[in-house]
Amino acid sequence: MFNKSRFWKEIEKNGLDGEMKIDEPMKFHTTWKIGGVADFFYIPKSQEALKNIVLIASERDLPIYIIGNGSNILVSDDGIRGLVIKIAGTLDKIEYFDKMIKVGAGVILPHLVKMTIERELSGLEFASHIPGTLGGAIMNNASFGGESLANIVHKISLIDFYGHFQELDSSQFTFLYRGILINLSRYILLNAEIRLARGDKTKIITKVKDFYKQRKASQPLAFLTAGCIFKNPQEKPAGYLIEQSGAKGLRIGDAQVSEKHANFIINCGRATSKDILLLIEKIEERVEKNFGIKLEREINILGFGRTEYFDE
């Protein structure tokens, strides 16, 4: 059995540079605004602090979960057993080397785009209204309008759960559709070098506005969502399949398939994680029954089916 109170005392004794909380409600850290408590929740103030907490947790076999700004994740109503590390708003340094920039994984994308616009750098306009961190966007190869992170990421820096640092250039990893393939396991993205292009500031801003208009016209931006639920199959876009299966507008509790874009699930106010998971399963059943296609989930699900291992 893992002794929860003993681990907390050990954390306090180490005096880690950062914000540590116990039994932190995850609804404050997800874009759906739902989810139970995390046993331990930590926001590091530095790369060294991140390394130290990961080493302490790994040595004690404490499960570690890395989150950015809380989009693209569904957290169980029962919470998360283990340690959640949030990097949004930390690991946020931006360095400029002419058209190459080095960006911390915790930088929020709209802020990054704003900074690059000020320097008349083009290439990130598509990410201007993605509400996540650069780290999360790279891990999911975020894209919009035919443009993606895969086209501009030149190098990444990582640390594994045992404190080993590695730097990989683009020949040492492969971007996938909604993912990245790296010959490593249990690692945390620290920063990335991104190659941009010089551009006219007015034209860059116009492109950002055009992308926003497209998003506003097709996505439920006014509601609480976690982004797209499913990856697009080769046959047809997931949203089309969901709509044609009759699931558009389908509702369980306060979770509803968006009427605007069927690949989004919105929280109408008091949705629970259970509501959303049941709705996801119902969508999968309908699409498979109607089209023989098994949808692949894009969101990451945390905490469901957790194991009990704490001794209070």
pLDDT at 12: 75
Last residue of a domain, one of 188, 218, 248: 218
Which one has a higher pLDDT value, 153 or 13? 153
Which one has a higher pLDDT value, 185 or 308? 185
125 shares a domain with 82? no
Other CB atoms within a 10 A radius of the CB of residue 245 amount to 22
99 shares a domain with 13? no
163 shares a domain with 57? no
Whether 188 shows a pLDDT value over 70: the answer reads yes
With a pLDDT cut of 70, the percent of the chain lying above it is 96
121 shares a domain with 212? yes
Q: pLDDT tens-digit profile of 202-219?
A: 999 999 999 999 999 999
| pLDDT band, residue 2 (cuts 50/70/90) | low
Residues 6 or more apart whose Cβ sits within 8 Å of residue 241: 233, 235, 287, 290, 291, 293, 295
pLDDT at 14: 73
Whether 225 is in a domain gets the answer no
With a pLDDT cut of 90, the percent of the chain lying above it is 85
Strands 73-75 vs 94-97: parallel, antiparallel or unpaired:
unpaired
Whether 53 is in a domain gets the answer yes
pLDDT at 307: 45
Report pTM.
0.92
pLDDT at 167: 96
pLDDT at 17: 78
What Rg do the C-alpha atoms of the chain give, in angstroms? Answer: 20
260 shares a domain with 197? no
Which one has a higher pLDDT value, 1 or 109? 109
206 shares a domain with 103? yes
Residue 269's domain comprises 238-299
Task: Specify the CATH number for the domain of residue 188.
Answer: 3.30.465.10
43 shares a domain with 98? no
Whether 231 is in a domain gets the answer no
102 shares a domain with 76? no
Task: Specify the CATH number for the domain of residue 19.
Answer: 3.30.43.10
Whether 136 shows a pLDDT value over 80: the answer reads yes
Last residue of a domain, one of 159, 190, 218: 218
The one-character DSSP state at 130 is -
The mean per-residue pLDDT over the stretch 244-251 comes to 98
Q: pLDDT tens-digit profile of 79-128?
A: 999 999 999 989 999 999 999 999 999 999 999 999 999 999 999 999 99
Task: Specify the CATH number for the domain of residue 294.
Answer: 3.90.78.10
98 shares a domain with 214? yes
pLDDT at 308: 43
| pLDDT band, residue 310 (cuts 50/70/90) | very low
Whether 288 is in a domain gets the answer yes
Which one has a higher pLDDT value, 101 or 58? 101
182 shares a domain with 133? yes
Whether 283 is in a domain gets the answer yes
120 shares a domain with 50? no
pLDDT at 13: 75
Nearest to 308 by CA among 80, 129, 10, 94: 80
Q: How far is CA 1 from CA 56, 62, 121, 260, 304, in A?
A: 17, 11, 53, 48, 20
> Cα(49)–Cα(17) distance, rounded to whole angstroms?
6
Structural domain total, the chain: 3
Whether 244 is in a domain gets the answer yes
User: 212-228 burial string, b = 16+ CB within 10 Å, else e?
Assistant: eeebeeebbeebbbbbb
Average model confidence (pLDDT) across the chain: 93
Whether 227 is in a domain gets the answer no
Whether 306 is in a domain gets the answer no
> Cα(42)–Cα(24) distance, rounded to whole angstroms?
9
Last residue of a domain, one of 86, 110, 130: 86
196 shares a domain with 143? yes
Angle of CA points 182, 107, 200, to nearest 5°: 100
